[in-house]
Structure 1
């Protein structure tokens, strides 16, 4: 039985190879958009979105600093598994992170994902100024 499970896992991995390069890829569905994005499991989600949507006006996710500090690429992952790098807590609180919120520039998809944009505008600092 274990051998059969292992074979199915291997077969699934083989179907997710990117153009013969040997890198595992997953599919990213964007809620409300018929298009999907292919993304390597070792590639940042935002990088894949930028590659697939060359016209910035057509991108379903905003692009900002690309380093997890501005919050422009805030998303909510509604399906799938992923890993993240450190993100600014000004833009994604620990509680929000447990609910699936993340910054696309810090997300590495591990399985097929469904995401929705979740940009919430400028964050106010303690003095009430936009940051």
Structure 2
């Protein structure tokens, strides 16, 4: 049986357990929340972008068309290609924001002038 780690979603204050051999996207889907965007599940479409704000993880190959080396350095990855290695805190990005109630606290966009 695989070890499980707690994952905190900052945007919605939800938490779920994710097994070390399960990608973060599959764990999110187990929440039963409607509207979670799911695409290719292979790191090639970019719809499941998240930012890991705390914790250790293993990231597998992702398309550079959707996640740059600079983003990876900032913890921005695709949930379908990330496996937890410790407790994780993440903020959903891009197309995932709508499903989780908006930007994470502190990540709201500045108002337009």
Could you tell me the TM-score, scaled by structure 2's length? 0.78
Conserved 8 A contact 2:48-2:95: no
Match of 1:46 in 2: 25
Two-structure CA RMSD over aligned residues (Å): 1.6
Match of 1:19 in 2: none
Determine which of 67, 89, 92 is the counterpart of 1:92.
67
Match of 1:109 in 2: 84
Aligned in 2, Cα 1:56/1:120: closer, same or farther, shift over 3 Å? closer
The CA deviation at 1:109 is: 0.7
Match of 2:34 in 1: 56
- Structure 1: any 5+ residue segments left out of the alignment? 1-21, 122-131
Name which one, 1 or 2, has greater alpha-carbon Rg: 1
Q: Deviations over 1:101-124 (max 9, x none)?
A: 000000001011111111269xxx
2: CA distance, partners of 1:32 / 1:103: 16
1: CA distance, partners of 2:34 / 2:46: 17
Could you tell me the TM-score, scaled by structure 1's length? 0.68
- The 4+ residue runs of structure 1 with deviation greater than 6 A are none
1: CA distance, partners of 2:11 / 2:94: 15
- Higher RCO (Cα < 8 Å, 6 or more apart): 2
